Copies of this chain bind each other. A is one copy, B any other.
Amino acid sequence: MGRVRVDLNISLDGYASTTDQTPEDPFGRDWGRLTAAYAGTRTFRERVLGQPGKGTTGLDDEYAAAYFEGIGAEVMGAGMFGLHEHPNDPEWQGWWGPNPPFGVPVFVLTHEERPSLEMEGGTVFHFVQSSLEDAVAAARKAAGDLDVRVGGGVTTARAALAAGLVDRLHVAIAPILLGRGQNLWADLREFEQGYEVRSEVAPSGTIHVTFSR
């Protein structure tokens, strides 16, 4: 049976989302600073940007590669799929175009009833109206022996952590203080209990902390 995994980029003060988006800079400067080490890796540049052979190798890249390995299904919140910006729009198919980078069944939590969407490259979006627990159970079944990734957003990831659904949490901590946004650690007192915690620092300054059980 596979594990349920969460991977997030957070700031040293725990923020996993940023607040300085503008129409001119839709990601914002903070997002760039938060994800700089990950976005610079060879894995990210090859798998997400389609730039093979470029980018950093080493510890940051090892974690980036692990993020993509062994995933058999994904769970995400409605916001990550874009249903907050595009509610009740039957034409909306997510942010990722016709060939999303998942390549596996993706279970989207939403109050909307929507038919499943079969995309190119193996991604099939299923829409789950009941509970996070049900979505994770459906994803586990779909993943078989492979792992399930709870991809985001932060609220969904934190709910999965708080509910004890997650077997492996990896955070890549950028050594910056954002001071605002959604804090991953809110209401997770003693989450570490029952997990083995391992930390290591990459040459980029990113602190990788992994909770495993």
Contacts and interface: CB of A to CB of B under 8 A. Distances in A.
State the number of copies, please.
2
Interface string A161-190: 000000000000001111110010111111
22 contacts: A12-B209, A13-B14, A13-B183, A13-B188, A14-B185, A175-B192, A175-B199, A176-B192, A177-B185, A177-B188, A177-B189, A177-B191, A177-B192, A178-B189, A179-B187, A179-B188, A179-B190, A198-B205, A199-B207, A200-B201, A201-B201, A207-B207
Given A12-B185, A177-B185, A179-B185, A199 B190 contact: no
Interface residues of A, number: 26
Contacts of A190: 176-177, 179
A197 interface: yes
A83 B176 CA distance: 35
A190 B177 CA distance: 5
A57 B198 CA distance: 20
A180 B176 CA distance: 21
A15 B14 CA distance: 11
Contacts of A14: 13-14, 185
Interface of A: 12-14, 175-180, 183, 185-192, 197-201, 205, 207, 209
Interface pairs A-B: 6 shortest CB-CB: A179-B189, A13-B185, A175-B197, A199-B201, A177-B191, A177-B188
A186 B180 CA distance: 9
Given A199-B201, A201-B200, A175 B209 contact: yes
A176 B197 CA distance: 9
